[in-house]
Amino acid sequence: MAESVVVNHVSKTFTLQNARTLKQRFVRRSRSERVNPTFLALDDVTFTVQQGEAIGLMGLNGSGKSTLLKLISGVLRPDKGEVLTRGRIAGLIELGAGFHPQLSGRENIYLNAAILGMSEAEVNQKFDEIVAFAGINKFLDSPVGRYSSGMFARLGFSVAAMADSDIFIIDEVLAVGDPPFKKKCMARIREVRDEGRTIVYVSHNTTQVRKLCTRAIVLEEGRLSFDGAVADAVHHLRYDEDPSGDEDGEGGEI
Amino acid sequence: MTPAVGAVDRPDLGPLRPPGDTTGLFGVLKRRYLLKLLVQKELKVRYQASLLGLAWSYIKPLVRFSMYFFVLGVLLNLRDSIPLFALHIFSAMIMVTFFTDTLNAGTKSVVKNKSLVRKMNVPREMFPVASVTVTTYHAGPQLVILLIATVLLGWSPDPTAFVAAVLGISIMLTISLAVALAFSALNVTYRDVGNFVETIGMMVLWSAPQLYPWEFVADRLGPVGEQIYLANPVAMAVLLNQRAFWVPAVDSGETVMPDNLLMHGGIMLVCCLGLVGVAQLIFARLEHGFAEKM
């Protein structure tokens, strides 16, 4: 057994408002207000993910899920504690993050893949697969700024999902895209999981989490409030009490 | 439902370590392919939707050169006291333009790539390094033009000229990299940097012997003032470039250059390398806060 992601007593504080000019700083200090009010986004969070595990990260909006994902992907650094990972990470913190609107689909595929750590040979080898999955053949040489939001999202998912990674991070990606594409994405995510890669999956969709993940972690106001079986997590969050919840049709199509 | 996949052991993945690249400039060197793509992106985006495109990077220096030559050479009549005044200006202008271009583009480099910095894990030093590379790409042809012009005007370089050229270009590259690194990081937290940079750009224009000859500085500043003047890396790079191209094209005896120019240049290069180190430290320190401050 090998650990893939270790989150050890991690806290992250954000500055709410920057008093940037000297004048503002002086005024705030003279009123004995704090110069920069802060907000504790993550409070002493600890958990470990084993290699090949698929965990669902759940919690209400503002509970710290995205912050945690950014810490795991290395975009943010913890203020206290430590985050450790093993192997290459492909993150979907936001679909199409890092796409440049003025570059063509082709150029963006190469750039995005290189950012995810792929070499030129690797991208060349996977290029057709990426394009086919995204289904954008016709528009490959148009700037992605002119893509429809669905095409943009499909291309973003496609690059990250085809990249070789040991840890795959997905943040609410299936909120966009039409049902057939969502289905395709879920199938791809399952493939990734079955290849023995670690998955950290953020979603409010309990059906998806239940079908994909073996374990769930629940955050509440920055604190880890639950870590265990998915069914119990859903119960813990009381998502199962609301029949009109997030169980939209697509989730059931896995 | 697919049966749950249990944990698997993958000893090939190496040890646990903090995510995110903290190897700084070395990390950039290791990922040259990504750097190449970022440079290509920058080159493509910079002049997109413009009619003249890349030609702008020649038109602007050409117009500037013509203005300098007309006002200072013709109106103020510096042409008479400085031999090959056009070459004097041009060999200096390449250096000064390079510096102000990297200063401006480098300072904005991290902020301009906001979406990448906030959402993706890239060695952030990539951005200032890419912007210095883009400027080098634009400056290359100018150097070729300078070389052709010098040869046509009767360039007879001595070995010192070659050493001076290499030293001058090296100083320019290192100081530009240092400045781009430090200011791009500071610019994330303090937007004052934009104004500061404009001010420096203006000072650099006048504090290198571009529009007036070194002779004036030597005559009027005295030994202490001279040393202060030579402590400016841009002035040093300009002098070295003039030593390489302008001096060997002029009949000997008509030009004045500082004593021990090559030694001064060597010391300056070492100092600039040190500054790159300092800039890297500043960058590494501030980089932690990039994603949340933008």
For residues A175 and A202, the answer to whether their CB atoms sit within 8 Å is no
Report CB contact under 8 Å: A196, B34: no
The predicted pLDDT at position B185 comes to 95
The domain total for chain A is 1
Looking at residues B51-77, what average pLDDT do you find? Answer: 89
Percent of the residues in chain B that have a pLDDT greater than 90, as a whole number? 66
CB nearest B122 (choices: A51, A110, A115): A115
With an 8 Å Cβ cutoff, are B19 and A73 in contact?
Answer: yes
pLDDT in tens, chain A (254 residues): 688 899 999 999 888 766 667 787 788 778 877 767 788 889 999 999 999 999 999 988 888 888 999 899 888 889 999 999 988 888 777 777 788 888 999 999 999 999 888 889 999 999 999 999 888 888 999 999 898 888 888 898 888 888 888 899 888 766 667 788 888 888 888 998 898 899 999 888 888 888 889 999 999 999 999 999 888 888 888 777 655 544 444 444 43
Residues of chain B with pLDDT > 70, as a percent, come to: 96
Side-chain-side CA neighbours of residue B128 (13 Å): 30
Residues on chain A touching B118 (C-beta within 8 angstroms)? 75, 97
| Structure confidence by residue, pLDDT tens digits, B159-171 | 999 999 999 999 9
Instruction: Answer whether B16 sits within 8 Å of A3, measured CB to CB.
Output: yes
- Backbone φ and ψ of B234, nearest 5°: -70, -45
Predicted local distance difference test score (pLDDT) of residue A241: 66
Could you tell me the CA-to-CA distances from B211 to A131, A134, A233, B256 in Å, in that order? 55, 57, 73, 15
Inter-chain residue contact B20 with A114, CB threshold 8 Å: no
CB atoms inside a 10 Å sphere around CB B59: 11
Structure tokens at B112: 């301009």
Structure tokens at A192: 């990734």
Q: Output the pLDDT for position A174.
A: 65
Domain definitions of chain B by residue range: 23-37+54-293
**Which value, in Å, is the radius of gyration of the alpha carbons in chain A?**
20
Average per-residue pLDDT in chain B? 89
Backbone angles phi, psi at B17, to 5 degrees: -155, 160
Per-residue pLDDT reduced to its tens digit, B19-44: 876 778 888 888 899 999 999 998 88
CATH of the domain at A144: 3.40.50.300
Question: How far is C-alpha A224 from the geometric centre of its chain's CA atoms?
Answer: 17
- Domain residues for the domain of A179 are 3-253
Instruction: Answer yes or no: do A72 and B291 touch at CB < 8 A.
Output: no
Amino acid, res. A108: N
In A, minimum Cα distance to B28 occurs at: A115
Helices within chain A (DSSP H only): 22-30, 65-73, 105-115, 120-134, 149-162, 179-194, 206-212, 230-236
Tokens (6 digits) for B150: 């010098």
pLDDT in tens, B264-275: 999 999 999 999
Amino acid at B138: H
pLDDT score at B281: 95
Inform me whether the pLDDT recorded for B104 exceeds 50: yes
Tokens, residue B146:
């300078």
What confidence score (pLDDT) does residue B53 get?
77
In this prediction, residue A248 carries a pLDDT of: 46
Dig out the tokens for A196 from the structure: 């023995």
Predicted confidence at residue A175, as pLDDT, reads 63
Q: Are strands A198-202 and A89-92 parallel, antiparallel or unpaired?
A: unpaired
**Residue A254: its pLDDT value, please?**
39
Q: What is the pLDDT of residue B9?
A: 61
Dump pLDDT digits (tens) for B220-232: 998 999 999 999 9
Q: How many residues does chain A have?
A: 254
CA–CA min distance B134, chain A (Å): 17
**Residue B290, min C-alpha distance to chain A (Å):** 8
Question: Alpha-carbon distance A54 to A49, whole Å?
Answer: 8
Among B1, B40, B119, whose Cβ lies nearest the Cβ of A98? B119
Distance CA A78, CA A208 (A): 29
pLDDT at A20: 67
Chain B hits for A86, CB-CB cut-off 8 Å, are 10, 13-17
CB-CB neighbors (< 8 A) of B122 in chain A: 115
Residues from chain B contacting residue A214 (CB–CB below 8 Å): 4-6
Q: What's the ipTM?
A: 0.83
A151 to A140, A176, A249: CA distances (angstroms): 11, 10, 21
Contacts of A50 in chain B (CB under 8 A): 7
pTM of structure? 0.88
- Kindly list the residues from chain B whose CB atom is less than 8 angstroms away from the CB atom of residue A70: 291
pLDDT, position B50: 77
Q: A36-45, A89-98, B66-75, B140-149: which range is least confident on average? A: A89-98
Give dist(CA A192, CA A198) in Å, integer: 8
List all residues 6 or more positions away from B138 whose beta carbon is below 8 Å from its beta carbon: B57, B101
Report the candidate in B186, B181, B137, B183 with the shortest Cα–Cα distance to residue B25: B181
B286 chain-A contacts, CB cut-off 8 A: none
Place of tokens 């998912």: A157
Distance from CA of A198 to the nearest CA of B (A): 9
Are the C-beta atoms of residues B218 and B258 closer than 8 Å to each other?
yes
Q: For residue A31, which phi and psi values (nearest 5 degrees)?
A: -85, 10
Asked if A75 and B291 come within 8 Å (Cβ–Cβ), the reply is yes
